[in-house]
């Protein structure tokens, strides 16, 4: 197989290398997938750059990056039904606590991490379901059905936020979203009932006005630290702040008193560690939304495997309106 690898932290152009490697045969309970697409996420970029506090070297001598992907099962190990050979699948946690991820022509991993791709769903979409899709779905539905509730989606223009807007609307919620002026129209098109400028000085007041003066039931938060003040003001009693990011303020000061007297639940989401029951529920809902035609997963650009460094740079640059993917099929 061919794979993009790195042995040390550094800039993408400096440390990522495309090379040929031996095929990895599936062991018991495993499958080997011939990959068509690899999804590039901010977490992949941070891992390669070595930007996580206290981490000074990669966890393995050689790393193939990226956790998301989609392809076709071409071989199975013992205890895996041989009928799965030829099945179209999408991948989750491809490189979580494992050395070899999806920036390659093939990946071998536990069979449970290769999920059957619904009929009619493209490999492009499949490669966005692992981290963005599951994060958005669990953030929306982690507390159960949302029909009749009001959800505030912070950062509705981002990949997770954009998917969350669609899923929340599909689930029957009233959806208020924040984003930049640039993304306003497409977030409205995704299903948000109201879209507000995330930088507005009176954002809390605008959120409440958009909900007829009532506080919101659930907040999906991409920047927990810097938005905590607004979130505290607008969350309802017994509401939930489902936080999946806080890059701009990793050590926020918690206004415990106001949150206490609303009995607010703060649900910190790291999708890699989602327990099986919750993951299965999220997968089921994602597939249902896709089958219903209620979920569109936009793609900004697809790069060749040899251009993985440029793909990671595109994620680092930000400002995109869709996923960054890798074409894992080598061309003659």
| Extents of the domains making up the chain | 2-128+297-327, 132-272
- Partners of 103 in the β-ladder: none
Domains 2-128+297-327 and 132-272 agree in fold: yes
For residue 32, the model assigns a pLDDT of 98
DSSP percent split of the chain into helix, strand, coil, nearest 5? 35, 25, 40
For residue 52, the model assigns a pLDDT of 83
How much is the average pLDDT of 101-109? 98
What is the mean pLDDT of the segment spanning 118-143?
A: 98
pLDDT of residue 69: 98
Tell me, which fold does domain 2-128+297-327 have in CATH?
Quinone Oxidoreductase; Chain A, domain 1 (3.90.180)
Q: What is the pLDDT of residue 72?
A: 98
Question: Residue 53: what pLDDT?
Answer: 80
Given its phi and psi angles, is residue 25 left (phi above 0), alpha (psi -120 to 50 degrees) or beta? beta
Q: CB–CB of 310/332 below 8 Å?
A: no
How do beta strands 299-304 and 265-268 pair?
A: unpaired
Tell me how far apart the alpha carbons of residues 35 and 19 are, in angstroms, rounded to a whole number.
16
Its pTM surpasses 0.95? yes
Confidence category of residue 271, pLDDT binned at 50, 70, 90: very high
Whether the CB-CB separation of 77 and 30 falls below 8 Å is answered with yes
Mean pLDDT over residues 319-331, rounded? 95
* 332 pLDDT above the threshold of 80: no
> Please, which residues bridge with residue 5 across strands?
17
Q: Mean pLDDT throughout 22-38?
A: 98
What is the CATH code for 132-272?
3.90.180.10
How does pLDDT run across 212-250, given as a tens digit for each residue? 999 999 999 999 999 999 999 999 999 999 999 999 999
Instruction: Judge contact between 218 and 146, C-beta under 8 A.
Output: yes
pLDDT of residue 144: 98
Return mean pLDDT, the chain: 97
pLDDT tens per residue, range 45-71: 999 999 888 889 999 999 999 999 999
Q: What are the Cα distances from residue 266, in Å, to 231, 235, 252, 314? A: 11, 11, 13, 32
- The pLDDT score that the predictor gives to residue 165 is 98
């Amino acid at each position: 197989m061919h794979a993009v690898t790195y042995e040390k932290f550094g800039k993408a152009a400096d440390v990522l290398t495309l090379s040929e490697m031996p095929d990895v045969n599936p062991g018991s309970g495993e499958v080997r997938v011939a990959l068509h697409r690899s999804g590039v996420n901010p977490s992949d970029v941070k891992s390669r750059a070595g930007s996580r506090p206290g981490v000074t070297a990669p966890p393995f001598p050689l790393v193939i990056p990226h956790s998301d992907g989609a392809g076709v099962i071409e071989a199975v190990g013992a205890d895996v039904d041989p009928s799965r050979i030829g099945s179209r699948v999408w991948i989750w946690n491809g490189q979580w606590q494992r050395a070899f991820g999806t920036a390659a022509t093939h990946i071998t991993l536990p069979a449970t991490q290769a999920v059957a791709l619904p009929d009619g769903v493209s490999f492009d979409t499949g490669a966005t379901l692992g981290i963005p899709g599951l994060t958005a779905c669990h953030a929306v539905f982690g507390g159960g059905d949302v029909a009749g509730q009001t959800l505030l989606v912070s950062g509705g223009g981002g990949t997770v936020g954009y998917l969350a807007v669609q899923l929340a609307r599909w689930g029957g919620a009233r959806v208020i979203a924040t984003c930049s002026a640039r993304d306003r129209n497409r977030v409205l098109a995704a299903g948000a009932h109201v879209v507000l400028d995330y930088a507005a000085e009176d954002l809390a007041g605008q959120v409440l006005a958009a909900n007829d003066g009532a506080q919101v039931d659930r907040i999906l938060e991409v920047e927990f630290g810097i938005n905590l003040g607004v979130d505290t003001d607008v969350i309802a009693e017994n509401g939930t702040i489902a936080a999946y990011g806080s890059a701009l303020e990793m050590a926020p000061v918690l206004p415990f008193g106001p949150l206490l007297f609303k009995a607010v639940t703060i649900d910190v989401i790291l999708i890699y560690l989602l327990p099986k029951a919750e993951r299965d529920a999220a997968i089921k809902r994602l597939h249902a939304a896709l089958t219903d035609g209620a979920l569109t997963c936009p793609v900004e650009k697809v790069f060749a495997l040899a251009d993985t460094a440029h793909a990671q740079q595109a994620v680092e640059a930000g400002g995109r309106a869709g996923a960054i993917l890798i074409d894992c099929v080598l061309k003659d």
